[in-house]
Structure 1
Amino acid sequence: MDLQFRLCTQNDLPILQVLLSELDSELQLSEGQMQAIFERICQIPNYHYYLAQLAGEPVGCFSLLIVPTFLRNGACEALLDSVVVLPPYRGQGIGRTMMQEVARICREAGCYKITLSSNLKRDRAHQFYQNLGFEQHGWSFSLDLCSIPLS
């Protein structure tokens, strides 16, 4: 499989919006909103969106944030998010190849672990990650700041 990876640019925002809508069908960001968010992302060191291309056609993406820690002699930790393969390309090994690329990037950056979060409803995604060696570790907690009053 000739899958190529590259960092997303501003020119990729329309396809990125299509890809991300596969994760969240309610994603309704305007072009201007996408641009503004992308500019903010570009200001964060070691935070990138990657585009996976097959024969020059975009087929998937992922985001990766690599942060230094005080653990493991200063090793980094990676936070993986927004992993998606377009439906017509699923089941062809693209997701597995994308995850191999994630691991390669993380190893080169000196990461000691990759962390990701997956919606409870995505049983197929959970099986996919487990088949790649990911283990469920602890509990994940989130706080919806829009649902609590400011005090």
Structure 2
Amino acid sequence: MIFREATRQDLPVVLALLADDGTERAGVSGAHERAFAAIEADVRNELLVLVDADEVVGCLQLTYVPGLGQGGRERALVEAVRIRADRRGDGLGAELMRLAVERARGRGCGLVQLTSNKRRGAAHRFYERLGFARSHEGFKLHLGQDPDQHPEP
């Protein structure tokens, strides 16, 4: 297994992983290209992949958020955690999360946090097995904008 930063060549596979649960659409759009370029250019963002035998089998995004809490230490926000459907149950998700937590700890983060869709009960049990606690209620406000309809900043 190799754990590394994603490259542009990984983008179609990462998007397919995200689309697997029906929450995203598959295929690389201009908005995806811009988002990948922004993540790649930002020292506080990492799109990471887990590779087995030259195939991407998992991914996640880590965003390091500065703040005054946690003694002024950054927190690591974990998003877009996915393991390829045919490889689930092999311990790859736990390994991916272990590596992400290790990376955050090495950066000096005070905590690792994530949100998970309320419909993903199996994911919630998975995160709890890894030691994550349900400590907060999350809220989102969808703005209803199509990112492909807006010019680059």
Taking structure 1 as the reference length, what is the TM-score of the superposition? 0.88
Which ranges of 4 or more aligned residues in structure 1 deviate by more than 6 Å? none
* Cα separation, partners in 2 of 1:144 and 1:31, compared to 1, 3 Å: closer
Q: Which amino acid aligns with 2:28?
A: S
Gaps of 5+ in 1: none
What is the root-mean-square deviation in Å for CA atoms of aligned residues? 1.7
For 2:116, the equivalent position in structure 1 comes to: 118
Aligned pair count reads: 145
Deviation at 1:44, TM superposition (A): 2.7
Gaps of 5+ in 2: 146-153
Residue deviations 1:42-85 (CA, integer Å, cap 9, x gap): 23332011010112221000000012221233211011000000
Of 139, 146, 149 in structure 1, the residue corresponding to residue 144 of structure 2 is: 146
For 1:59, the equivalent position in structure 2 comes to: 57
Taking structure 2 as the reference length, what is the TM-score of the superposition? 0.87
Cα distance in 2 for residues equivalent to 1:135 and 1:23: 23
Deviation at 1:19, TM superposition (A): 1.2
Cα distance in 2 for residues equivalent to 1:24 and 1:51: 20
Cα distance in 1 for residues equivalent to 2:95 and 2:24: 28
For 1:13, the equivalent position in structure 2 comes to: 11
Larger mean Cα displacement after TM superposition, 120-129 or 34-43:
34-43
